[in-house]
Amino acid sequence: MSAIERFDLVIVGAGPAGMAAADTASQQGLKVLMLDEQIRPGGQIYRSIGHTPIQDRSVLGPDYYAGEKLLAGLNQASLERLQGATVWEVREDNTLCFSVGGESRRVGFDKLLLATGAQERPAPFPGWTLPGVMTCGAAQILLKTSSMVPNGPLVIAGSGPLFLLIACQLLRAGVEIEALIETIPRANYRVALPELAGALRGWRYLIKGAKMLAEIRRYKVPFYKGVDQIRAEADSEGNLSEVIVQHGQEQQRIPCRTLLSHQGVIPNTQLGRAIGLEHSWDEVQLCWKPVLSEQGVSSHPDILVAGDSAGIGGAVVAEIQGQLVADAAARSLGKAGMPEPQRAGLKQQLSQQLAIRPFLDKLYRPAEAFIRPVDETVVCRCEEITAGEIRGLVELGCSGPNQTKAFCRSGMGACQGRQCGTTVSALLAEVQEKPIPDVGYYNIRMPIKPLTLGELASLNSYTEQRD
Amino acid sequence: MAVDSSYKRVSHQPAGTVQLMVEGQMIEAIAGESVAAAVLQTGIRQTRTTPVSEAGRAPYCMMGVCFECLMEIDGVPNTQACMTEVREGMVVNIQRGSRSVSGESV
């Protein structure tokens, strides 16, 4: 018989949802294992929390250091946790396989919590594959983990809270920004306005946004608004050399060495997809998210989802959801759970924290150009397939995202569709004149991260030793 | 660090350092950071060329979802440089085109 170690709860991801869940679950006496891909806990929002080399705390701001409390909770919680651990398969017998330090292991679980967070929305534009183009999130990670900033000339383009935040953080760190290019379509303001009354319950977020805009104004950074389209151009060596800004009929060329782009974030659903959990299309947030019960239970009764991987709500929402979902898991495993007033309090906080979302989602809905890019744009970065090629496949009889794989290999490269999946579905839906949910999404298969044969083989030797 | 780099360090707390070899050059990195971060402070702008068109690419997302930062690290091709922690004596090279099958003769 195999002696695979079993846990009451396995948590995938050590961001705010995972960290909060680990603390709650261990307090409830569950045997918990936490697996996280990154070098240190914190997720992306609290990346390198407790270890950031940044000296001046005003650079990253107080919202970042709010993660210190979560880290302290995690550090004193009684659980097993592994960093640098990549989950690559979940099996039907409630076991999962992960790889750490080049070796694979398999463990069992009663409940599995996916707290895999968000990724930046893949928002292609011509030239987005050039060396020198990065996401705003990438620049923020370099700042948090390595105290590194772009050497300039730097241009930042896009929309959303992170677009403003990274601009402020880099300015505070002494970086000069050549231009900020905001791509919010003018119509978004009209659509978002009716949500403003509801958003007042989340007034703290509104004030934060206003403060960031005021801070950017103080530094007198050239700020372009209502930009329809951007294009990155290369020099003779194939590196980014300038960005072309399309502003109605006007065009402007801005030389730069680094272009940071951002169009919001979407749930990271890769693992849930590979497991085969049911997902639905969110027409407001323009993304897929897992179908969940109020307790965070997915279409699989033993698999729960919390935080941004359940739908974008931000760090504070993720932390509250992590606690609530871990509590629900503990109760379903026969534990007492947290006192009812505490649970009710958390639910109330959750609804207050979510009040701002309808306003933000409508204001920052990406411009068309980034959802259904022009034909010449590379959509599948791995296999170098353009938007035009994907559109052309429909006429050839390609009916859905999974057929595009056979027609042109889109989605079959190393990233396994993470960077092209939403765009390919949107393009097919456009040509077929169908809603995106009718077109569907790629089937994602295990292993969800590339493995070496050595890593795969080590799994066998590990289980054999234990048999 | 190299003057002509894409990224530079701003003032930071004293931290442990590690030395690693990137394209034959010894560089210094902060202990605990990723290989991709370390490479971005060198003059290297393209960390791989693609198998399809041999176009140059560089780290894009820094969080493990885009796979643009694939490099050859300690002889292992297709390694995500943004997910790999720097270690003393590590040997890092640009990944050129498609990887080859390594190991025993095939």
Return the domain boundaries, chain B: 17-93
**Structure confidence at residue B104 (pLDDT):** 42
- Asked if residues B42 and B1 have their Cβ atoms less than 8 Å apart, the reply is yes
CATH 1.10.10 segments of chain A: 372-439
Q: Do B63 and A55 touch (CB under 8 A)?
A: no
Q: What mean pLDDT comes out for the span A66-89?
A: 97
Taking the model in full, what pTM does it have? 0.95
Give the number of C-alpha atoms closer than 13 A to the C-alpha of residue A260, restricted to the C-beta side: 33
Q: Which residues contact A445 (CB under 8 A, 6 or more apart)?
A: A274
Give first-to-last CA distance, chain B, whole Å: 41
**Structure confidence at residue A454 (pLDDT):** 86
The listed CATH number (1.10.3720.10, 1.10.150.20, 3.10.20.440, 3.40.50.2020) that belongs to domain B17-93:
3.10.20.440
Chain A environment of B30 (Cβ under 8 Å):
53, 146-147
**For residue A411, pLDDT beyond 70:** yes
> What is d(CA A329, CA A81) in angstroms, rounded to the nearest whole number?
18
pLDDT in tens, B27-70: 999 999 999 999 999 999 999 999 999 999 999 999 999 999 99
Least confident of A119-128, A130-139, A346-355, B96-105: B96-105
**Structure confidence at residue A459 (pLDDT):** 84
Nearest CA in chain A to B7: A150
Give which of B96, B102, B43 is closest to B70, Cα–Cα: B96
Q: What mean pLDDT comes out for the span A211-218?
A: 97
- Asked if residues A290 and A278 have their Cβ atoms less than 8 Å apart, the reply is yes
CATH homologous superfamily for the domain A6-119+267-338: FAD/NAD(P)-binding domain (3.50.50.60)
Percent of chain B with pLDDT over 90: 79
**Structure confidence at residue B100 (pLDDT):** 63
Q: Do B37 and A145 touch (CB under 8 A)?
A: yes
Topology at the third CATH level for domain A122-263: FAD/NAD(P)-binding domain (3.50.50)
CATH 3.50.50.60 segments of chain A: 6-119+267-338, 122-263
**For residue B99, pLDDT beyond 80:** no
How crowded is residue A52: how many other Cβ atoms within 10 Å of its Cβ? 24
Q: Determine contact: B1 vs chain A, CB below 8 A.
A: no
Which secondary structure element, helix H or strand E, spans residue A343, and what is its range? Answer: helix A340-354
> What is d(CA A460, CA A23) in angstroms, rounded to the nearest whole number?
33
| A186's tokens | 């003018």
Q: Do A84 and B85 touch (CB under 8 A)?
A: yes
Least confident of A214-223, A412-421, A455-464: A455-464
CATH 3.40.50 correct for A372-439: no
Q: Is the reported ipTM for this assembly greater than 0.85? A: yes
**Structure confidence at residue B105 (pLDDT):** 38
How far is CA A25 from each of CA A43, A78, A266, A287, A377, rounded to the nearest angstrom?
A: 19, 9, 26, 29, 46
Q: What mean pLDDT comes out for the span B60-82?
A: 96
Q: What mean pLDDT comes out for the span A93-116?
A: 96
Q: Determine contact: A226 vs chain B, CB below 8 A.
A: no
**Structure confidence at residue B2 (pLDDT):** 43
In angstroms, the separation between the Cα of residue B70 and the nearest Cα of chain A is: 9
Q: What mean pLDDT comes out for the span A35-58?
A: 96
Buried b (16+ CB within 10 A) or exposed e, A413-444: bbbbbbbbbbbbbbbbbbbeeeebeebbbbeb
Which residues pair with residue A232 across a beta bridge?
A243
**Structure confidence at residue A72 (pLDDT):** 98
Which secondary structure element, helix H or strand E, spans residue A111, and what is its range? Answer: strand A103-114
> What is d(CA A4, CA A466) in angstroms, rounded to the nearest whole number?
7
Nearest CA in chain A to B82: A38
